[in-house]
Structure 1
Amino acid sequence: MSGSGVELTHRAMAMLRAVAAGRAEMSCSCEPDLFVDGFACCDQMTAHALAHGGYVRPAADGAVGRVPAELTEAGRAALEITLAA
């Protein structure tokens, strides 16, 4: 699946699973960084692509700094497709 021009690689799907499990935070910025289990994600390019592609978003609107990350509807759909396969 590549809904918004984002290739959902195995790494991208693992990042989505971490967000779904409540293990991820993201920075509230124009280039949002992803943190999993308190550590900066090793592939921020993919993290940016997931955010800009509409798969993940900050859980708090208008927040500053690092906040919990959450899946969007597109992110949940991407995970459901892989679980069904």
Structure 2
Amino acid sequence: MELSGRARAMLRAVEAGRAEVTGGSEPELYVDGLPCCDQMATHDLVHAGLLRPAQPTRFGHRVCAELTEDGRAALAAS
């Protein structure tokens, strides 16, 4: 997956521990407590397996987000 500048910034925020993600099939990303404006990019990053909730969650409940191994590799390669 080729990452846009926005997607890289989103992954960097996750890497820095500044992001939360909601549970559900189409999760939402929050950075510094604010909702991310690009929900499609969030969905794409989650469905591509680049980021995930750091712990089990339920629909609509926010938890810390974390990069997956693939997410760390994609960020390092970009």
Aligning the two structures, in what range does the TM-score lie when normalised by the shorter sequence? Answer: over 0.9
Structure 1 stretches of 4+ with a deviation exceeding 3 A read: none
Asked if residue 9 in structure 1 is aligned to residue 4 in structure 2, the reply is yes
Q: Distance in 2 between matches of 1:43 and 1:79?
A: 18
Q: Distance in 2 between matches of 1:10 and 1:59?
A: 24
1:72 to 56, 68, 75: 68
Q: Secondary structure at the match of 2:30?
A: strand
Answer 1 or 2: higher relative contact order, Cα 8 Å, separation at least 6. Answer: 2
- TM-score (structure 1 length as normaliser): 0.86
Figure out how many residues of one structure are paired with residues of the other and give that number: 76
Computed over aligned residues only, the root mean square deviation of the Cα atoms, in angstroms, reads: 0.8
Structure 1: 5+ residue runs without aligned partners?
Answer: none
- TM-score (structure 2 length as normaliser): 0.93
How far 1:28 moved relative to its partner?
A: 0.4
- Identity in percent: 59
